[in-house]
């Protein structure tokens, strides 16, 4: 192979929102698999908000980055050479290659993908970790009952798309929160939500009161901050809040305070923290259920694909500003 | 009856911590019961932090005070005249007479007391609403398992005393938080807690880490604020936080922010709001259980009694500064 391996590297911890200069780029030779390893070429790179936390060396995550390290990340790839007995050249896999064209793997945590059963990119979105997050958080923590009001923020992203549509399939009345009129229109027309509130349109507390006249029974929180505060002012008695993401805080050096907790007591509400890794055993049931819904046209999702690895830093920075519309992917190589 | 009815009235909403000038005093004639009512003379007046919230006309509480109104509050009283078929002169009752020497009641929400089974004042503390709060919050929300670490703040007050000792009887290792060395000594020596941390002794986060080396499995929160933040930095995986009181916030005009919620997610923790009125049906089981423990010497409590109704404003202000030691009562009349 005369080709080289293009990589995007970690340059420095961002100050506030990330900028492209927080990343570097280099190239290496394409590595060869040792016994028990396989080499795969990256097709799609997943962009996820939690990378921002990894870049701050948060202790929540196992990854630790040093300047010059290749950026970590989930990918869909095709195996090009294998010295692993359970993987063969030509197979498609979900594997953590990171932000590079080629990666080695021991096979640990790798899922094989069937390109005939679902589009490959979905394995990084609604049929991957974000989908599992939305699914497990809704089914096992949020537990909406039929007719209850279920609110989800960042509702056109892969986690929110999944949480909201799963709640809809459970009989809940789903209200989304998103950051543009186009996203809100998509949530109602395509995802089947009862309503969607644009948080950039002024008084979110009042808008939620109008969209949720009986109060909010379940809130799936992907963003924290002021949005969470507005929700706490509209809770129904016995409400459940699933704390999943705090995208605002990922770009802050000092963690921000949380909402005033008085309304939590008044509503006898429960807030629970969700970490998707605790629910890995639910991955097969989630993939089976949601891929079935996708084939039947009962579950929709949207991808926002950037072309070429070099675009990854810019696309990631846009994601952290809420500039994406749908699951943020980078096409690194041809399918 | 030539006697008059001395009363303490609401004068104005306090600014910050209450001061005696926020109260007034007057006297009225002693009222006569109509058909279906009884008149009782107050023996003990209970002082509880939530009165501060009532004085701010918080919408959480049903009571609404106007200047000149008698202050609301729980009391133990003896019936002096009855035109109610189910109550007789001479009987002792827990009744909401408020801050006055005599009160009328329709009998609604009134509990009869047997002075032979427990000291009368306990009906306002560990065998009354504060006890029910500590009991129900621990047994039904906190749910400590044997060997788990259970932390309770304001641990020598009636709610904390009950929560901590109930958790001890459930097999938990109980660690108290209090505001003086004397209170901490009492918690360990008398209440049987494994340890007690004085939050005025500097770095509470570090002190809790030392007292709870395996992390905090259950936190019964009576105070909110910085204490809650310090606890969130020491959570065990799967921790449960019972939000019960936010005494700091009661004296603020603008509700303060809550703690940064990242550690709640990291610990997969759950925070639940407790409102004691939801658990009124547990009152008989609580009284039976805890009065039995009191008789067997397996449950202790302490009262901080001020003498005479005129002392009530001053005693209440001291309570809100944490100056009491044990359940704050005012002796309004002889037993």
A256–B273 C-beta distance less than 8 A: no
The CA–CA distances, whole Å, from A107 to A41, A85, B67 equal 14, 10, 74
Under CATH, what is the fold of the domain A129-278?
Rossmann fold (3.40.50)
Strands B235-243 and B270-273: parallel
What CATH architecture is B4-125+302-331? Alpha-Beta Complex (3.90)
Q: Kindly state the tokens that stand for B121.
A: 């004042």
Q: What gap in Å lies between CA B153 and CA B220, rounded to an integer?
A: 7
The pTM (predicted TM-score) of the whole model is: 0.84
Q: What gap in Å lies between CA A122 and CA A113, rounded to an integer?
A: 10
Contacts of A91 (CB under 8 A, 6+ apart): A78, A79, A112
A274–B268 C-beta distance less than 8 A: yes
Is the Cβ of B62 closer than 8 Å to some Cβ of chain A? no
Is the Cβ of A258 closer than 8 Å to some Cβ of chain B? yes
A60–B266 C-beta distance less than 8 A: yes
Q: What gap in Å lies between CA B266 and CA A35, rounded to an integer?
A: 36
- Top pLDDT among A144 and A255 is at A144
State yes or no: pLDDT of A252 exceeds 90. Answer: no
Dihedral Cα B207, B211, B212, B216, nearest 10 deg: -70
Residue A51 is inside which H or E element, if any?
Answer: helix A50-55
Domain with CATH 3.40.50.720 in chain A: 129-278
DSSP B173-237: EEEEEESSHHHHHHHHHTS--SEEEETTSS-HHHHHHHH-TT-EEEEEESS-HHHHHHHHTTEEE
Is the Cβ of A256 closer than 8 Å to some Cβ of chain B? yes
Enumerate residues 200 to 229 of chain B having a beta carbon within 8 A of any beta carbon in chain A.
224
> What pLDDT score was predicted for residue A1?
47
Is the Cβ of B277 closer than 8 Å to some Cβ of chain A? no
Q: For residue range B231-267, what is the model confidence (pLDDT) as tens digits?
A: 999 999 999 999 998 776 777 778 888 999 999 999 9
For B257, the closest of A243, A260, A266 (CB atoms) is A260
Domain with CATH 3.90.180.10 in chain A: 4-125+302-331
Distance (Å) from the alpha carbon of A67 to chain B's nearest alpha carbon: 26
Residue percentage of chain A with pLDDT more than 70:
97
For B270, the closest of A261, A270, A275 (CB atoms) is A270
pLDDT along chain B (335 residues), means of 10: 86 93 96 97 96 74 79 97 98 98 96 92 96 97 96 96 97 97 98 98 97 98 94 97 83 83 94 94 95 94 97 96 94 94
For B257, the closest of A259, A268, A272 (CB atoms) is A259
Q: For residue range B59-77, what is the model confidence (pLDDT) as tens digits?
A: 445 557 889 999 999 999 9
Longest dimension (CA), chain A: 66
Is the Cβ of A246 closer than 8 Å to some Cβ of chain B? yes
ipTM score for this prediction: 0.78
For B265, the closest of A257, A267, A275 (CB atoms) is A275
For A273, half-sphere exposure in the C-beta direction (CA atoms, 13 angstrom radius) is 25
Dihedral Cα A101, A111, A142, B271, nearest 10 deg: -70
> What pLDDT score was predicted for residue B1?
47
């Amino acid at each position: 192979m005369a080709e080289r391996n293009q990589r995007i590297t970690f340059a420095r911890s961002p100050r506030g929102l990330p900028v492209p200069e927080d990343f570097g780029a280099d190239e290496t030779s394409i590595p060869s698999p040792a016994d028990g390893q396989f080499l795969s070429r990256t097709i799609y790179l997943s962009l996820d908000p939690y990378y921002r936390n990894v870049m701050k060396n948060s202790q929540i995550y196992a990854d630790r980055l040093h300047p010059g390290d290749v950026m970590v990340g989930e990918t869909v790839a095709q195996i090009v050479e294998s010295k692993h007995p359970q993987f063969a050249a030509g197979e498609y896999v979900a594997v953590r290659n990171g932000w590079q064209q080629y990666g080695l793997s021991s096979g640990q945590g790798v899922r094989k993908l069937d390109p005939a059963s679902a589009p490959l990119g979905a394995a990084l979105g609604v049929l991957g970790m974000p989908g599992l997050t939305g699914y497990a958080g809704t089914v096992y923590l949020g537990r909406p009952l039929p007719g209850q009001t279920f609110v989800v923020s960042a509702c056109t992203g892969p986690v929110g798309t999944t949480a909201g549509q799963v709640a809809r399939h459970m009989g809940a009345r789903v209200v989304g929160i998103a950051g543009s009129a186009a996203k809100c229109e998509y949530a109602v027309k395509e995802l089947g939500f009862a309503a969607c509130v644009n948080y950039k349109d002024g008084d979110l507390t009042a808008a939620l009161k109008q969209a949720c006249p009986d109060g909010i029974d379940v809130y799936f929180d992907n963003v924290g901050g002021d949005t969470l505060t507005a929700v706490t002012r509209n809770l129904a008695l016995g409400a459940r809040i699933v704390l999943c993401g705090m995208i605002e805080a990922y770009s802050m050096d000092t963690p921000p305070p949380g909402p005033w907790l008085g309304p939590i007591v008044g509503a006898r509400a429960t807030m629970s923290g969700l970490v998707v890794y605790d629910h890995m055993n639910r991955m097969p049931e989630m993939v089976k259920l949601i891929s079935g819904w996708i084939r039947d046209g009962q579950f929709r999702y949207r991808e926002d694909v950037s072309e070429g690895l070099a675009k990854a830093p810019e696309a990631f920075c846009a994601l952290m500003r809420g500039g994406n519309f749908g699951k943020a992917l980078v096409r690194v190589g041809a399918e």
